[in-house]
Structure 1
C-alpha cells in the first residue's frame, strides 16, 4: 500500500485507486484486519503484520475521538504507510465523517439504504462544490449494505452517485436473514463496482465468502479471541474433569 500513500501519513491513502486496481486485476485483492476491541496496544502490533487495510470499528465500540485518532495515526505510522486505515464511523453525521478523515482514515459508513442517504454522506465526505462536497479534504468511502431494502436500492444508488463510492461492503451478519445475494452481486457487476466484506470460517466457507471481493477482511482481534477462547473452554470442560486430582490433593 506504500504505492498509494498520500503526501503525508496524516492524510488518507489513495484507497479508491487501490480498490479500482485490484478490481481490475492489476494488483491482488486487498487483505484486511478488523480491529474491534478499541485497543491501541493491539492495533500497534497489528499494524506491523503487513495487512493492506486495518478497519477500526468506531460504530460498536467505546472509542472516544482522541483514541480513535490515535489508533488511526498508529496504523499509518507504525506500518510506515504499508497499511491504510479505514474507520467504520458510528453513523452518517457530518462531524463523525470529518473526524475520521481528519485523523487520516478512509471511511466505511454503515446502514446506507437510500440514494438520499448516500448523497448526504458524499456531501459530508467530499471537498468542493464540483464534487458536491462540503468538507475540507477528499477521502475514500465504502458503503455498508445491511438490509434487503438497501440491496433493492443499490442499483439507483450506484446509478446516481456510484462514481463517488469506492466500494460496497455487504454486512452479512446484519443482513443474513433478508439477503438477496444474487441481486447484490448482479448489481455490482452491472455498475462494475468493487465489493468488500468479511471472509471467516472453514476453508470452504472462507473461499466462498472471499469470492469476487476486492477488499477482504481475513482476520480480526475479537474474532480470533472468541475462536481461541471458546476452543480453550471446550478443551478444559472435556478434559480437566478426567484428571485424577486425588494424589495432588494428598501431596498438598
Structure 2
C-alpha cells in the first residue's frame, strides 16, 4: 500500500477542529503525515491534536479567523516557509436565509470564508510546491457544487466557485507536478447539517434519496482524503469527487 503512504509529509488542514476537518486530519496522520491544524476557535489542547499525536505523528495547532483577509495572508506567508506537501482547504461556514431576504453581510461572509480565503491561502502555499515540482491541494466542495440547495444562496455560490477554482488551478498547476482536486461530501451528520437533521420532514426526504440509506459520517471522508493527498492520485487533476452515498446518482 505504498501508494497511500504519507510518511514524512507535512499536511495543513483548515477547519480541523471538528467534523469533517478533524476526520481528514486524523486520516492523514494515520497514513503517516504530520499535521498543522488550523481553526478560528482551536482550543489550547484540541481533540484533533490528541487524536493525531495518538497515531505517533506530530500536531501543531494554529488559529486563524477566515473572515479576516490580513490574518489569512499572514497565515499563508508563515506556513509557506514550512513548505507543506499537502493542503486541505476545509474551513467553511453556512448561513441559511431565503434568497429574497438574504442579507448582503451574510453573503459577503460566506463568500469570503468559503471561496476567497481558500484561494488566498492556497496561492501562498502553492508557490513552494510549484518551485519544487510536487504537492497536493484538496478543497472541500459540496453537493451544492452541482445543485442549488434551498435557502443557502451564498453557500451554493461559494461551493460552485470551489468546483470552478479546482479546475482552474489544476489546469495551471498540473504541468508543474501539483495536483489540485476537491471532495464533495454528501449529507454528513455534522454541526453544519444539524438544522436539517432536526427537521423531521427534511431529514426524511434526504434519507429517502440517499441510496446508502443513511446520513454520512465524517469518517466516510477519510479514504478519499488520503487518496487525493497521496501518490495514488498522481494522475488525477481537476476532479470534484462526490462522497455522498449515491445521492448524485439517484
Structures share a fold, TM > 0.5?
no
TM-score, normalisation: structure 1: 0.36
TM-score, normalisation: structure 2: 0.37
